């Protein structure tokens, strides 16, 4: 069996296929295939060594899968510690997040937005030093994607088209190898529908286990928009990377799936539900330290995974 499974024998079978619609190997041809035959005792030793090696390989593969699962769990734990103020030390010299939130609200009022103090933080006496609890809608704005007919999508760029990010591109890292292109007329000259550096892209219509999945836009390399099944989240005076990792932790805990509505095979999460989620906001300087610690730790974990 092991001899027949080798590349040596398989290549001889392939070279003797009958070239018809369904390639066939005749019994006569297979019986005439030459194979090396050692003595019976050596056959047994060979089989024993092969099966010992396969056992080792299977164990390595099982251990690899176990280690990959440990790495995944470790990343989730790092994010959980981060959003609870347990990943980095608090610094009494940091400006409290309450002052930051007041600046954001003052800016919102100036822009004509109705602002309410939706949370009484006195109910949360165990908040980390300088932290505050708020709603996502207090510190983020949401931009829904553009709509266009299916017939409008193109697979290659033209002079009048623009790249369009869709749900399939929203992975752990934003994937831009498989972009659609659409006519620029569907943007209607609305600059808020163009991707910006630091945008957070969320899949808002997807399978239940994938709704709420997010990607981060590090740098926009070309002019791009985004489709109707995704939404862009933009922060106001808050470190956007911190909010990205916070949302990623919430997604991992299934909070978006639980808050979504189901239609046929698609789960949807809307801006009202999303905006009502309560979150912990650290001082801005601590947000930056948290992001740096997360990314340093993730680089170590990724290095381990890439070398197993």
pLDDT digits (tens, 9 = 90+) for 250-285: 999 999 999 999 877 899 999 999 999 999 999 999
Residue 103 CB neighbour total at 10 angstroms:
12
Mention the CATH class of domain 73-306: alpha beta
Note the pLDDT of residue 15.
79
Note the pLDDT of residue 118.
56
The span from the CA of 212 to the CA of 46, in Å, is 53
**CA 291 to mean position of chain CA atoms:** 17
Going by the DSSP 8-state scheme, the letter that residue 6 receives in this structure is S
Residue 166 CB neighbour total at 10 angstroms:
18
9 phi and psi angles, rounded to 5 deg: -80, -40
pLDDT digits (tens, 9 = 90+) for 104-155: 988 888 877 776 655 566 556 688 999 999 999 999 999 999 999 989 999 8
Q: Tokens standing for 15? A: 């070279």
> What is the helix (H) or strand (E) element at residue 238, kind and residue range?
none
The span from the CA of 241 to the CA of 201, in Å, is 12
Residue with the bigger pLDDT between 114 and 235: it is 235
Domain ranges of the chain: 7-54, 73-306
Compute the Cα dihedral for 58, 59, 64, 70 and give only its sign: positive
Residue 69 CB neighbour total at 10 angstroms:
10
In this predicted structure, the answer to whether residue 20 has a pLDDT above a threshold of 70 is no
């Amino acid at each position: 069996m092991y001899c027949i499974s080798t590349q040596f024998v398989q290549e001889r079978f392939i070279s003797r296929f009958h070239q018809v619609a369904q390639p066939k190997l005749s019994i006569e041809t297979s019986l005439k295939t030459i194979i090396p035959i050692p003595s019976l005792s050596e056959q047994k030793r060979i089989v024993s060594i092969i099966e010992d090696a396969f056992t080792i390989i299977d164990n390595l593969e099982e251990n690899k899968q176990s280690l990959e699962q440990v790495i995944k769990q470790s990343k989730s734990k790092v994010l959980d510690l981060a959003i609870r103020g347990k990943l980095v030390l608090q610094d009494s010299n940091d400006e409290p997040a309450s002052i930051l939130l007041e600046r954001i609200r003052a800016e919102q009022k100036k822009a004509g937005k109705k602002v309410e103090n939706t949370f009484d933080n006195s109910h949360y006496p165990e908040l980390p030093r300088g932290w505050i609890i708020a709603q996502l809608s207090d510190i983020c704005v949401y931009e829904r994607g553009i709509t266009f007919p299916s017939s409008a999508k193109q697979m290659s760029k033209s002079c009048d088209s623009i790249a369009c990010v869709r749900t399939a591109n929203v992975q752990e890292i934003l994937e831009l190898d498989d972009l659609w292109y659409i006519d620029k007329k569907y943007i209607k000259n609305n600059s808020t529908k163009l991707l910006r550096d630091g945008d957070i892209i969320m899949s808002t219509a997807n399978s239940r286990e994938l709704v709420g999945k997010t990607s981060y836009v590090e740098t926009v390399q070309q002019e791009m928009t985004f489709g109707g099944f995704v939404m862009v989240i933009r922060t106001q005076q808050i470190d956007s990377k911190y909010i990205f990792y916070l949302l990623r932790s919430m997604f991992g805990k299934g909070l978006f799936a639980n808050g979504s509505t189901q239609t046929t095979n698609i789960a949807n999460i809307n801006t009202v539900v999303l905006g009502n989620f309560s979150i912990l906001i650290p001082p801005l300087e601590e947000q930056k330290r948290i992001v740096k610690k997360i990314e340093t730790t993730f680089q170590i974990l990724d290095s381990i995974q890439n070398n197993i």
